[in-house]
Amino acid sequence: MNILHLDAAITGENSVSRKLTADIVNKLKATHSNAHVVYRDLHEGVPAIDANWFAAVRLAPQDPTPAEKALIATSDAYLKEVQDADVLVIGSPIYNFNISAQLKNWLDQIARAGVSFRYTEAGPEGLLKGKRAIIAYSAAGTPIGSEYDHASGYLRFILGFLGITDVEFVAADRLAMDRDAGLARAQEALDKLAA
């Protein structure tokens, strides 16, 4: 089993989502002794896509400049980690009712027409099929699935758009209201999680 472990929280050791992703990965490793884990801390920086990225990655010039080659290599590296993974464990702290900018940048880097999805006569088709995603959702005040949770639905949609339809959440929400209860809900979800 190949596991891609992604963290995105800006709160360091105080991060609930980082603790949850570590617990999820440990649970998977306990059941799969041959598990191989690739770790990426998105907080260390994921370049946002821009006009230069579009010219290099999407337009794919025949003779890319050194700067364009660097942009292509970065995007390819993110995508290869996903392609090689059987399971994605994604930490998603909620900031202002949505996913972090770092996680959004990463998703923009891997959502590539003709590579991770394609357009067909029947509509778009995700090309990253056969993978499982487990999202560690943490929020101070945003209840998962609430009308002002703009993160969980988006993550389920964008991953599904890319072909990853087996998406589960381990949620520690409403932590500012009742931290112990939020952590208990996350532990219960973790305990029920099939490894």
Tell me the binding residues for FMN.
Answer: 15-17
Rounded Cα distance between 173 and 138, Å, is 5
**Cβ-proximal residues to 179 (8 Å cutoff; 6+ apart), any chain:** none
Tell me the binding residues.
Answer: 15-17
The DSSP line for the chain is -EEEEEE--SSGGG-HHHHHHHHHHHHHHHH-TT-EEEEEEGGG--PPP-HHHIIIIIS--SS--HHHHHHHHHHHHHHHHHHH-SEEEEEEE-BTTB--HHHHHHHHHH--BTTTEEEETTEEEES--S-EEEEEEE-SS--TTSTT--SHHHHHHHHHHTT--EEEEEEE--TTT-HHHHHHHHHHHHHH---
